[in-house]
Amino acid sequence: MIKWKGIRFSVHPLFVLIMLASVATGYFTELMTLFCIVLVHEMGHVIVAHGFGWTIREVKLLPFGGVAEVEDSGSVPAREEALVAIAGPLQNVWMALAAWGLGQLGIWHAEWTAYVISANAIIALFNLLPILPLDGGKLMHAMLSRSMTYHRTLRWGARISLVLSGCMVLYAVIPWLHAGESGIQLNLLVVGLFLFLTNWTYNRHIPFLFLRFLTTRSAASGRHLVRGAWALPIIVSKRHTVSSALRMFKRDSYHLIVVMEDQGRVLAVLPEQQLVNGYLEDGKPDRAVYDLFM
């Protein structure tokens, strides 16, 4: 593990296993090239994230990319998350073009040029799959959050990722299920299982991820107030629980909670900070929103 500008860079055990296998099979040079491609890919994310002022704790390098642990997860705008996500595959574009240029100049052999170009293409395209925590999954997450509440974004992001990673596992074992075909696609199976188990854990941790989102709302609300922003009202009855109102929050919006009677009379207007603080202080999700005024 190395540390650069406060960010820990570590190699995932899955990558270590592939490294050991490459040494045993004589493909160490190819693997070290792949390692460098993955590192540059991930540095694209890190540089753009730093440009937005994000706090990145750790980057774990995987054979197909990396996973960054971001302290500000949930509080950053969807636009920033999308730009940080696409920054990785863009590194593969220029690296593939550079390899092609070196091949055209005769500096690299045609076989090696083809390997570097294909490695970059595979890493870029694979990372664009809409599966968390891949770059495509983060782009999907950012797009979903533009139209859904943040809680629904977490749920649907996990569901889509589980279905697609499950399909990847199934596709890897299809040859084994058909007599006369070749064996299991081991590489695809291992990666598919890793993504499926990662998203299974992610799905179980959604309550904690949503709580972390709520704890960052104060900073996000402050940014809205400083620059001025339209408020998106959330209309609830006085019987609505605090948790049901909080689950209506959207990522990039500032909310005013309007409490109304069945007849349409407005009982109170509550700024979102008061709702969040009331929940965080007493931790009673089933408490009625109107009780916060009592």
pLDDT digits over 151-164, tens only?
Answer: 999 999 999 999 99
Q: What is the CA angle 227-230-233, rounded to 5? A: 135
**Per-residue pLDDT tens for 18-43?**
666 555 555 667 777 888 888 889 88
Does residue 116 contact residue 80 with C-beta atoms inside 8 Å? Answer: no
What pLDDT does 72 receive? Answer: 63
What pLDDT does 190 receive? Answer: 81
| pLDDT of 91 strictly over 90 | yes
Q: Tell me the pLDDT of the chain averaged across its residues.
A: 82
DSSP output for 233-255: EEEEETT-BHHHHHTT--TT-EE
Residues of the chain within CATH 3.10.580.10 domain(s) are 217-293
Of 120 and 280, which is predicted with more confidence? 120
Going by C-beta distance under 8 Å and a sequence separation of 6 or more, which residues neighbour residue 157?
132, 137, 140, 141, 144
Beta-bridged to residue 256, according to DSSP, are 233, 271
Cα gap 224→218, rounded to integer Å: 10
Architecture of domain 217-293 in this structure: Roll (3.10)
Closest CA to 282 of 251, 243, 225: 243
